[in-house]
Structures are given as structure tokens and as C-alpha cells.
């Protein structure tokens, strides 16, 4: 191997090593602004139907437990566009319950239609349909 190639390889290795380093700091202004803009989750009252729901429950189990939602919507996540991604979370479904809140489901695997609860957001002001902003 010529010295020209050795130097090029050393520079490339150094560039990759330095470029792949990461700084993890939650004190950045961007991280602080996101935390400040997100509303705090309200605790779920014990007498709410949402108190019966736990993260990881399947959508069929949720609907059998508390009934059908007022409205539902679905959307693809960024993982759906990754080539050869066969894992889960390719799509999500949002179930809105008027006067109770929303439940977010995530697709379990790329080749199934089963979904599980990933988020329960109690909101007594939920209108039960998508709010246009």
C-alpha cells in the first residue's frame, strides 16, 4: 500500500471517528423549548374508563374493555420508509374518545395488522374528532 493511500485512509478513519461522536446535552435551547411547549399529561382518575387501560394492551382488548372510540385516524411513521425495516412501529392509530381523551396504538410488526397501546392521554376536553389547526 502506498503512503498516499495510507494517509488517505488515516484521514478518512479520523473523519468518521470524529463525525460519529455525539454530544448529548439536554440543556440545549432546542431541548428546553420542546419540553416547555409540550403540555403536561394529566393523571387519569380512578373512575375513568382509561384507568382500565395499560400500555401494551392490544387494540381489540381495549375496545372490548371500554368500547369503540368516537373517531379513529391512522398515519405512517418514518420507520415505514426505511428500506428493509421489518420491525414494528411502521404505522400508528389514534383512537379519540369524546370527553375522555386519546389512546395511541403502534403496529406490532411490519407484517401484521395487530396494534398495541403506546400512549394514553387523558383529556376531559377532547372533542372526539380531529382538531384542525
**Cα(84)–Cα(61) distance, integer angstroms:** 30
pLDDT at 7: 59
Task: Give the start-to-end residue ranges of the domains of the chain.
Answer: 44-133
**Cα(115)–Cα(113) distance, integer angstroms:** 6
pLDDT at 36: 56
pLDDT at 8: 61
* Angle of CA points 87, 92, 98, to nearest 5°: 155
CB distance 91 to 107 below 8 Å: yes
pLDDT at 29: 53
CA proximity to 57, closest of 49, 73, 126, 39: 49
Give the Å distances, CA to CA, from 77 to 57, 61, 62, 88, 101: 20, 23, 22, 10, 21
pLDDT at 82: 86
CB distance 65 to 52 below 8 Å: yes
Tens digit of each residue's pLDDT, the chain (133 residues): 566 666 565 666 655 555 555 454 455 555 455 445 556 778 999 999 999 999 999 999 999 999 999 999 999 898 888 888 888 888 999 999 999 999 999 999 888 889 999 999 999 999 998 876 6
Lookup: cell for 45: 382518575
SS3 67: coil
pLDDT at 34: 47
Amino acid at each position: 500500500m502506498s503512503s498516499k493511500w495510507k494517509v488517505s485512509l488515516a484521514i478518512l478513519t479520523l473523519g468518521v471517528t470524529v463525525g460519529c461522536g455525539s454530544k448529548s446535552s439536554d440543556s440545549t435551547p432546542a431541548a428546553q423549548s420542546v419540553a416547555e411547549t409540550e403540555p403536561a399529561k394529566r393523571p387519569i382518575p380512578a373512575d375513568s374508563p382509561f384507568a382500565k387501560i395499560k400500555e401494551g394492551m392490544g387494540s381489540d382488548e381495549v375496545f372490548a374493555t371500554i368500547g369503540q372510540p368516537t373517531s379513529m385516524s391512522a398515519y405512517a411513521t418514518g420507520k415505514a420508509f426505511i428500506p428493509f425495516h421489518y420491525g414494528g412501529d411502521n404505522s400508528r392509530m389514534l383512537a379519540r374518545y369524546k370527553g375522555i381523551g386519546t389512546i395511541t396504538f403502534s403496529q406490532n410488526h411490519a407484517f401484521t395488522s395487530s396494534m398495541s397501546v403506546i400512549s394514553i392521554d387523558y383529556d376531559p376536553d377532547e372533542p372526539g374528532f380531529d382538531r384542525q389547526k
